[in-house]
Structure formats: structure tokens, C-alpha cells
Chain A
Amino acid sequence: MKHELSVMMFSWEFPPRVIGGISPHVYFLSKSLARNGVKVYVVTCDFPDTPAHEVIDGVEVYRVDSYKNPAPDFATWVYLMNLNMQREAAAIVNKVADKIDVFHAHDWLVATACIGLKHVFRKPLLTTMHSTEIGRRDGLHTDTERMIHETEAWLTYEAWRVICCSNYMVSHVKWAFGLPEDKLAMVPNGVNTSVYEGIEKENLKEFRAKFALPEEKIVLYVGRLVYEKGIHVLINAVPKILEKVNAKFLIVGNGYMKDQLLNIARSMRLEHKILFLGFVDEATLVKLQKCADVSVVPSLFEPFGIVALEAMAAKSPVVVSDTGGLSEIVEHDVTGVKVYPNNPESLAWGITKVLLDENYSRYVSENAYRKVRENFDWNRIAEQTMQIYRAVLGEYSKSFWA
């Protein structure tokens, strides 16, 4: 079948390999593009018991052996993984019947593979910048951080267009790398609402009982346990919340701060109130989001904030810190509660307010659900992305590479 457009996406994570928000993003974007008639190839890292090549709803997924070379540290591993990714992608480009029209890189983690392929095959490169090192670390403090920052700058330099998922990220990326305005495009992140359909909170009593007592409200955090996500702010807010309302805090995700956070919970003698669940599978996560009496996103730096959207799709009221993409997703007192970033008192206030006022909680969660369905639909996002591809290919067709 001849396609109007074909794109090769690069991402270091793709389901079932899920580390952060890029994995679901690339998964749904690819599927929606395929549904709209685009031929999509995804090149990503391998995962145990997952095939090296499979077709998922029309999307050709290639998984590269990403631990082939021993590496002394994470950043070096990334570049070595890119070596293998580039090598296999070059062979795939040669092998596939449809020629590739554009390369699309998701974050610096696939930068070097994509930059090389752009020049070797002379096809336009686009990138979606999901985050930045300077934002994640709140500045550049080490050589590793500077190196990653410079790799990001290089990727945005080589890219024909730089896509960001929020207006906040557009201005942040523009500032961080000194990019011209017309190189940037905003396409929001989407959320898959269908996984939450047909699951009713009332039918989850047995499931809920595994995590909390019937009289306990469930406060849910979903995210990596890293500084930028502000999970420590939530842990610090726990005693203040417990003064007003009986609740269980469920923490989903892993990260380098885990041991530190466990120690804090232990020293506060709140181990019975804060459950660290680690990484959970998709089905469990969906049920947890359905059960949550409030979902909290306390990030200090948040380019977009997909977990807030997921919670809204699950009809769970959200409390988010007023920063980055979260500021654009949530309208205070209408679709959720916004609190001051890095402020446990403010966060405790927001969570307590939602937990104690059921009418308010229902009101914001219903508004939020409506907003998500209207504005963050993957089909619409795929169309916006295709428009960018077409615009780039139009400009490319006039270049000497064409």
C-alpha cells in the first residue's frame, strides 16, 4: 500500500518499556498517525520477552538491542545505544518498501542516531522536546548535565521543526537554546480516555481494599521519584493533611529518591500511611487512578504533565502545582486545584480542600473530564502533527537535498 507520508520515529521508550511520559506519547501518536493513513516506523529500545519486530495497529515497531555494549555511565550508555539504534535504523530504511519521508526524534536520548541518519539519507529531521536538562536540573551543575544540554541544543539546531507539548515548553525551549520563533510548534500531548471507560469506581471495592481501609481517602501520586517531580513536597505535606482528614498516600513509580523518601516516611512514623508501590502494570494503574479520591502532581518542573490529564480522564479530581504545562492544563477551581510549587502548606491545603468537599470534588472532576475529551484527543493531535510534517516536506521539496 502506498502511503502519502511515511515517518520513522525514534524513542528510547515504547510500551511495554515505560520509563516516563515519552513512551505513551509515542505509542498513541504513532497509532493515531497510522489510523490517519501515515506509514509509521518506530525504532526503540528492547524489552524482555518482547519481539524485535512487530506490527501494532499498523505501526511497525523495531526494538534494538540496547545493552549490546558495556557502558561506564548512563550518558555513555545513551550514546552507545544510539550507535546500535542508528546502525539498525540505517538497515531498515534500506529494506522497507516505503521510502522514509521524515525522521522524528523524541528527546536527546535519540539525538545522535537521528542527526546522523538525517545527513546520511538527507531527509528532514523533526524533534519533539519533551523536557530539557536545564529544566530538569534547575540549571547546569556538572559536566554530564552540560553535555546533555549541548546535545539537546545540537538536536534542536539540526531539526527542521521543534515541537513542544505546551506553550510553556515553547518559551522554555526557545530560551534554553536560543531558537528562532518560526522553528517552534506547539502540539499538545494527548490522553487515551478509552482505557478508563467501563470501569466504575463502585465496582472496585475489593481492589481498593488491597491498598486502603474503607474510611481512608486515597491520595495518588504517579511519577518517577525524582527531584523535579516534587514528590518530597508531597511527603512533607502528609502530616499536615492527616491532621484534617484520614487518608492513605499511594506512591506509584521508582527513582533515585526512593530510599531517601522511605527514610523520611519512617522517621515521621508514617510508614502505615504512605505506600510505595513501585512500578505497576497498566491495568493496575488505571484502576488506581479510578479509585483515587485525589490525584496529586506536585512537580517543580513539568513540561507538560500527562499524569494530570490521565487523572482527569479517570474522573479523579486533580491537585497540581502551578507550574509549566500543568498551569495550562488545569484551570483553578474549574478543572482542578492549583497550588504553589515547592510549598507543602499550599499542597496540603489543596488536597484537604478536595478531600473534605465532595461537591467541589465532583464539580472539578466532571469539568476536567469534559475538557480532556474536547482538547486532548489523539486524533486531533495526529492531524496537527501531520500538518507540520506536510509543511516541512513542502519546504524540503524546494531545498537542494530534495
Chain B
Amino acid sequence: MHVIIFSWEYPPRVVGQLAEYVRLLAAELVKNRVDVHVVTYHDFLTGAVEEPDGVKVFRVANPVRTHVGILTWALTLNQEVERAAASIYYQVGKQVALVDVHDWHFIPAAVTLKNAFGLPFAYSVESLEDHRAPPANTPYSMSIKSIEWLGFYEAQRVCVKSEWMRDEIVRIHAVPKGKITVVKPKANSWIRDILAMYKSMAGGAGKN
């Protein structure tokens, strides 16, 4: 099973907790015989590399160097994420099962790949704009929230790390509770739960 993971942070580029979580996730998936392709951002380490733990990592840089905010940075970077993901897709004979996108930054790319290839994606939520920047009512925050909402709307599954987060997503974005899977990173069944979610999604994948 080929899985593409999108994350805006991945070692050695560590911004918050997400980088370490995604590193561990990718490594554990490889141990469970999943072909893992991580697409991430780095300022200068670009291209595809095989990491020590068997994860294929594609690091892309933004061709537009000057930005007026994180939004323009993220939105332009998405085209390079798509380029990397499309390369993976064609290289593995279109046999990608799903995309797992962590937080909002690369939601646009996941949405395009879904519409173009019929490739389902899971939206894994580390944090929400409402919690990062309360009360999240500036034009910037509202814009980011609208991308989060698009992710919830277009995702086949939403994956969260706690019941609290699930309830917050239901409260803030009115996402149907049944669409959200709670997978606790500290639980013994963590990676099995992730795999179960992936398998339930890949079954419904339309291919062209």
C-alpha cells in the first residue's frame, strides 16, 4: 500500500510537535509494510531522499521567495507539493491508496489530487486556528479557518488525537461526528488504529 503523507514540518525542520509525530508515524508505517512517501517543506534540502528508516521523503522549496504572510507562502508552496505528489503517483503506476495530510497547510494540494485522481485523503488534525489564535476572527485567521473547513468538507476521514479535539471540530466546523476518527498516539493500538483507518479509506478509492 502506497501512502503519501503531507506535513509542513518534518525533521530536520522542526516547528512544533508535529514533526516528531509524523517522523514516528512514517517509521512505524514502514515497519508495517506500508510504502510511505512524505512530502514536506525545507528551505534548501530539496529533492527525493531515502531516509534511514526506509521512508521516502520529498522535500520541496517555495519558488516564490518573498511573501506577505504565511497564507501566500502556503498557497504557492502547494503547487510544489502537488508536483512532488504527482511524480510519486505516476512513478508507482498510479497505485497510491490515499493521502494523509497533517494540518491545514497542504489541504489545497490534497483537494486537487482528490479531484484529479479520485485519490481520497485523511485530514489529520494536530491543532486548529481557533486554538492557535483565539478568537480567530482576524481576516488572516478567518482565511485559514476557511481552508481548514475545506479540508473537513473534502476529506474522506478526519483523524484526531483526542475526543476533546473531535468535539471541538464538531462545535467549530459543524463536521458530522461520524466522519471523525479518534486515534490516540499514546495508546498501544495506535499504529493498528491508523492502519485500520487507512484500509477503510483505500477500499473506497476511485481510480482513473
State the main secondary structure of chain B at its contact with A.
helix
For residue B143, which residues in chain A have a CB less than 8 angstroms away from its CB?
69-72, 76, 80
Q: Is B96 an interface residue (CB 8 A)?
A: no
Q: CB of A162 within 8 A of chain B?
A: no
Taking residues whose C-beta sits less than 8 angstroms from the other chain, chain A's interface range is 35 or more
Quick one: given A76-B68, A86-B112, are A69 and B82 in contact (CB under 8 Å)? Answer: no
Task: Determine the chain B residues whose CB is within 8 A of the CB of A86 once the complex forms.
Answer: 108, 112
Q: 8 Å CB contacts to A: which residues of B123-165?
A: 138-140, 142-143, 146-147, 150
Verify if B71 is at the interface (C-beta below 8 Å from A): yes
Q: Give bound CA distance, A75 to B72, whole Å.
A: 8
Which residues on A sit within 8 Å (CB–CB) of B65? 150
Interface size on B, residues (CB 8 A): 36
Within 8 A of B (CB), among A89-107: 90-91, 93-94
Find out whether the CB atom of A71 lies under 8 angstroms from the CB atom of B86: no
CB nearest neighbor in A for B115: A90
Q: Is B75 an interface residue (CB 8 A)?
A: yes
Name which of A75, A93, A120 has the most chain B CB atoms within 10 A of its CB. Answer: A120
| Contact present for B72 and A147 (CB under 8 Å) | yes
A115 is an interface residue with CB less than 8 A from chain B: yes
Residues of B within 8 A of A252 (CB): none
CA distance A69 to B142 in the complex (A): 8
| Residues of the B chain whose Cβ atoms lie less than 8 Å from the Cβ of A143 | 66-68
- With contacts A87-B112, A122-B86 known, what are 4 further pairs, Cβ within 8 A? A69-B143, A94-B115, A116-B83, A122-B90
A-B contact pairs, 27 of them (CB 8 A): A69-B143, A71-B143, A72-B71, A72-B139, A72-B140, A72-B143, A76-B68, A76-B75, A80-B71, A82-B75, A83-B111, A83-B150, A86-B108, A87-B112, A87-B115, A88-B115, A91-B115, A93-B116, A94-B115, A112-B79, A115-B79, A116-B79, A120-B116, A143-B66, A147-B67, A150-B66, A154-B63
Interface residues of A (CB under 8 A from B): 68-73, 75-76, 79-80, 82-83, 86-88, 90-91, 93-94, 112, 115-117, 119-122, 143-144, 146-147, 150-151, 154, 157
